Amino acid sequence: MSNDMKNIWNILFLEERASIGLSFFRIFVALTVGLHVIPSFFHLDDNYLSTAFKTFNTDFFPQSFIDWVQKSPDALVVFFVWAFYVTWFCFLIGFFSQISCILMTACCYYFYALNCFHIGTLSWDILLVTLFLMCITSYHGDYFSIDALRRGDIEAWRHPRPFFIQRLLQLQTASTFFFTGLYKITGEGNWITGNPIYYLMNYPSEGVTKHFLLKEWMAVHPHFCYISGLMIVATELSMSFWLFNPKTRRAAIILGLCWHILLVLTLDVPTIFLFLFPAQMMLFIHPQKIIDWIEAKRLINSQSPRAKIIYDGECGFCRSSVRAVQVMDLWGKIDYIAGPKDMSEMCLCLPDGKTYGGFFAFRRIAWICPMLYPLIPIVYFPGSGMLGPLVYRWVARNRYLFPVFHSCAAGKCHL
């Protein structure tokens, strides 16, 4: 019995599984935090400086902490704004992922205590719980991150880690659904004794309900609204079981995604509902399935003609740059060939015979490596076709002066 319990505990929390899902989740958490907090910085005088109108969440923070934060001079507030921008961006790109997560979370707490009027919502509290769990480990920086490039581990996408953080995040998501449903039908909840959807449909235009196609029809069909309400509660109560059951998981994830899209389309709820919660659903996908999917794609690509990067094999900076491309080449679509020392620029040869050099090779690589997708709008921005080659040529001319990641120094980097 004890061994069985140990095994179950191991499977639930301690077993090592690939952390790529968590790395992907990090990006969504960062986007959610940014989209929620950054708009409040556009009117610092209204929101956080001494001229602001402030409200405080004394249930969440001890009064002494709020009093302490309120003593902040305006200069300190501005300092925290910049600290937030820097740490948030580092967290987004996974640069010292854990430290940036901790510092960004500290900034979030600071602004929440300073004034909860704009950012304080129930979904924000949920986001803080998620952030706290993300602060515990650095696993979310394993892939889709600058940290992965710094380490130069080309197998970073399959890096195994104890599963407990992802499991706790799963439990948080499932429990949020369950308790949200439970509170609706017990205690002060009125989804059985009343008809909340019907009331929402009859709210005046100043209310939380958005205008959508069926609103007016639903506003005169109370029975439909009541049945819909019961179905919502039933779904919320059973969602956790569907999510944890492998047979119903896929349907539950799709339902959860549709659920939150519907919520955002019909009600004025914080965007956290659209960015964080659907990403939380994706955490239920078994990491091994993601790895199997990636490996299948890599296998297909390994048996097909691949693109070739030819680079200066004598230059440490070039080797470490190519190593970085290798880390980012998730689908295994590129071969790497060390060329002669006197190469003026790297060269990319595609299987269809097309050849690109220098900046234009880099621009084409951005379409091949998923981690470079965010750079596509930048490298194709009007004017980048003129500026990019100039920058590239300058870097290429000075490539022997640039620092080299440790793993590629002194010719130790095996590609």
Partner 1 sequence: MNIQLRNKLISIFVIIWLAIFYYESTCVYYLEPLFKRELPRMKFLFPPAGWIMFYNIGDNFGYTEVYGVKDGNPQLIDPHQILRTRAIGYDNINRNALITVTSPGMSDSFCPFLKRRFPYFDKFLVTYVEYPQLIEQPLERTQTVVYECNE
Footprint on this chain of partner 1 (rule: CB under 8 A)? 9, 13-14, 35-36, 39-40, 42-43, 46-47, 51-55, 57, 59-62, 65, 109, 117-118, 121-123, 125-126, 128-129, 132, 136, 162, 164, 168, 171-172, 175-176, 179-180, 183-184, 186-191, 194-196, 198-200, 202-204, 206-208, 210, 264, 268-271, 274
For Cα atoms 406, 408, 411, give the angle at the middle one, nearest 5 degrees. 125
131 with 183: CB under 8 angstroms?
no
H-helix or E-strand containing 335? strand 334-339
Query: Of 169 and 408, which has the nearer Cβ to partner 1?
Result: 169
Q: How many CA atoms lie within 13 A of 311 on its CB side?
A: 25
What 8-state DSSP symbol labels residue 96?
S
Task: Count CB neighbours of 136 within 10 A.
Answer: 14
Min dist. Cβ of residue 400 to partner 1 (A): 39
Min dist. Cβ of residue 239 to partner 1 (A): 13
Structure tokens at 334: 């590129």
Query: Of 199 and 336, which has the nearer Cβ to partner 1?
Result: 199
Burial 104-122 (b: 16+ CB within 10 A, else e): bbebbbbbbbbbbbbbbee
Q: Per-residue DSSP letters for 30-92?
A: HHHHHHHHGGGGTTHHHHTSTTS-----TTTS-HHHHHHHHT--HHHHHHHHHHHHHHHHHHH
Q: Is 172 exposed, middle or buried (0-12, 13-18, 19+ CB in 10 A)?
A: middle
H-helix or E-strand containing 162? strand 160-162
33 with 104: CB under 8 angstroms?
yes
Min dist. Cβ of residue 282 to partner 1 (A): 19
Min dist. Cβ of residue 2 to partner 1 (A): 14
Min dist. Cβ of residue 76 to partner 1 (A): 20
Q: Is 16 helix (H, G, I), strand (E, B) or coil?
A: strand
Min dist. Cβ of residue 115 to partner 1 (A): 10
Query: Of 172 and 238, which has the nearer Cβ to partner 1?
Result: 172
Min dist. Cβ of residue 24 to partner 1 (A): 21
Min dist. Cβ of residue 190 to partner 1 (A): 5
Beta bridge pairs of residue 311 = 338
Query: Of 54 and 364, which has the nearer Cβ to partner 1?
Result: 54
For Cα atoms 328, 330, 333, give the angle at the middle one, nearest 5 degrees. 100
83 with 76: CB under 8 angstroms?
no
Min dist. Cβ of residue 100 to partner 1 (A): 20
Backbone φ and ψ of 235, nearest 5°: -65, -45
Distance of alpha carbon 37 from alpha carbon 99, whole angstroms: 19
Min dist. Cβ of residue 269 to partner 1 (A): 6
Structure tokens at 142: 């394993």
Residue carrying the six token digits 């706790």: 168
Min dist. Cβ of residue 196 to partner 1 (A): 4
H-helix or E-strand containing 291? helix 287-302
Nearest to 102 by CA among 55, 72, 141, 65: 141
